[in-house]
Amino acid sequence: MQIKRNLEYPSWKTPFFFIKSLIIFIKIIRTGILNVLIINKFFNKQIELILKVLNFVFGNNNQKEIGKKLSNVLINLGPGYIKFGQALSTRPDILGKKTCNELSILQGKLKPFSNSIAKKIIQAENDNLLQENLASFDENPIASASVAQVHTGILKNGQKVAIKILKPNIYKELFRDFTFFYWATKFFEFCIPSIKRLKLSKNVEVLSEVSLNELDLTLEASAADELAENFKDHPNYRVPKIYWEFTTKNMLVLEFIDGIRIDDLESLDASKHNIKNITEIGTEVFFLQVFRDGFFHGDMHPGNILIDKKGSLIPIDFGIMGRLSNKDRQFLALLLTYLLNKNYNKVVEIHDEANMLGKDISHYHLSQAIRAISTPILNKPIGEVSLAKLLGQILSLSKKFNIEVQPQFTLLQKTMLMAEGTTRQINPDINMWELSRPLIDKWITDTHDPFKVLEEWFHKNKIALLKIPEIISKVDEILSKK
């Protein structure tokens, strides 16, 4: 993999990286974030004790505005850390609602670069856009996130557009962060060989490749186009129009969406939107992306989802997208179904069928271990059940039971965490997985229907099948000559 070669670092950087990791670790602890984790009792007693000791030694007694202090630290550390903070901002179950609200600045309210630089970038990418096609251009950005900022303009035909431009030197900065993350995972794998099966460094490779692809805005435009094609017939989910004639690698021009953030409950209520309907639409869309299409939005924090006047969901950022093969989707569908039905023997069975278990592993003991970690999570009130957290707990069994961790699920798990967090923020009484269950059950039935399987086989091999008459004719011609 090309990304792996690019992430490789010279050995002389190891002492520098080690010192850097200690400094970053202390900076984060000084924000007081460990105190939040301890209060919310997210970890088991052993880990909680370690956190208390670290908090006592390095922590800050001032527990005010922890989220703001953590935001400032992550912003100063770089764009890779900002992405980590964006994911955390959707998890009030871990950090609490107040801290998550303070972290929301990372979702599009960062300090922008200067207006003059923005105009220079646009002119360099497509001078005709400013000079000939725009009737007006707002130099003040409406959003500024980890890798880009967005301006608005009005085309001469009256259509309002959003103009997304990459930040200067962003590739270098983001790559620097991922190189450090790669070193950190390699360091842990060297110090603790038993965690190699978690494939942490492989996960960094996957996330690095996905995130660095985000820096080519033509790829983002292509992803938006594919997503729009997949949902062209959906009445409540719409992708903004892409203006390909103006889009380049460093600039994306798309339809401006006048909408309300999905987590802005006051504005949604004032506009008389139905929160229950929004939750149901979001759940259905997530299911269709993951299971029907195997192509899903990989950055589902609330800042990337708007609600228009009709109540439709509008995604506005397509830089990070994920893919799953049909085999991966079938495994995931069965896994979620068996977990929701508390059929732990079947959970073990599908891991074994997927060749994810080591030899001589006791299926009975693994089933009991999965039951032990699943029961406390699945027995919670319906709005607090987190299948994404449960999948993470199952991954934690990999060391003991020699489970082969699959890197392709890394981005999906992150997306699941964001989707759950967003759903919980806007409607705490709804469990998206209970809403998804009938959809998943139907999908499993359809994909295992022998007539459906045969139909898909014919579709995939249509070109080869059309050549059969030609092949028969040639064989007949050869035989007739003999």
Last residue of a domain, one of 86, 107, 128: 107
Output the six-digit token pair for 256: 């401006």
Residue 475 lies in a domain: yes
pLDDT at residue 451 in the model: 44
Residues 208/176, Cβ–Cβ less than 8 Å: no
Residues 218/249, Cβ–Cβ less than 8 Å: yes
Residue 160 lies in a domain: no
Last residue of a domain, one of 91, 107, 123: 107
Residue 209 lies in a domain: no
> What are the residues whose beta carbons fall under 8 Å from the beta carbon of 241, sequence distance 6 or more?
254, 255
pTM of the model: 0.70
pLDDT at residue 389 in the model: 72
Q: Which domain holds residue 473?
A: 450-481
Q: What share of the chain is helix, strand, coil (3-state, %, to 5)?
A: 65, 10, 25
Residue 44 lies in a domain: yes
pLDDT at residue 198 in the model: 57
How many Cβ atoms are within 10 Å of 129's Cβ, its own excluded? 23
State how far the alpha carbon of 67 is from the alpha carbons of 63, 83, 264, in Å.
10, 15, 19
Residues labelled catalytic: 299
pLDDT at residue 453 in the model: 45
Residue 289 lies in a domain: no
Residue 277 lies in a domain: no
pLDDT at residue 271 in the model: 92
Residue 11 lies in a domain: no
Residue by residue, pLDDT tens for the chain (482 residues) are 566 667 777 777 888 888 998 898 888 888 888 877 777 666 667 767 877 888 777 777 677 788 888 888 888 888 888 877 876 776 666 677 788 778 877 776 778 888 888 888 888 888 888 888 989 999 889 888 788 899 999 999 999 999 999 988 888 888 888 888 888 888 877 776 766 665 667 777 777 777 777 788 999 999 999 999 999 999 999 999 999 999 999 999 999 999 999 988 899 999 999 988 998 898 889 889 988 898 998 888 788 899 999 999 999 889 888 888 888 888 888 888 888 888 889 888 888 887 777 777 888 888 898 888 888 877 776 556 677 777 767 766 665 676 666 666 767 777 777 787 778 778 777 777 677 777 777 777 776 544 444 445 444 555 555 556 666 666 666 666 65
Domain count for the chain, please give it: 2
Output the six-digit token pair for 131: 């000079």
Instruction: Give 109-166 as a DSSP string.
Output: BSPPPPHHHHHHHHHHHHHHIIIIIEEEEEEEEEEE-SSEEEEEEEETTS-EEEEEEE
pLDDT at residue 160 in the model: 96
Burial 71-91, CB ≥16 within 10 A → b, else e: bebbbebbbbbbbbbbbbbbb
> Identity (one letter) of the amino acid at 403?
I
Last residue of a domain, one of 82, 107, 132: 107
Residue 57 lies in a domain: yes
Residues 139/115, Cβ–Cβ less than 8 Å: yes
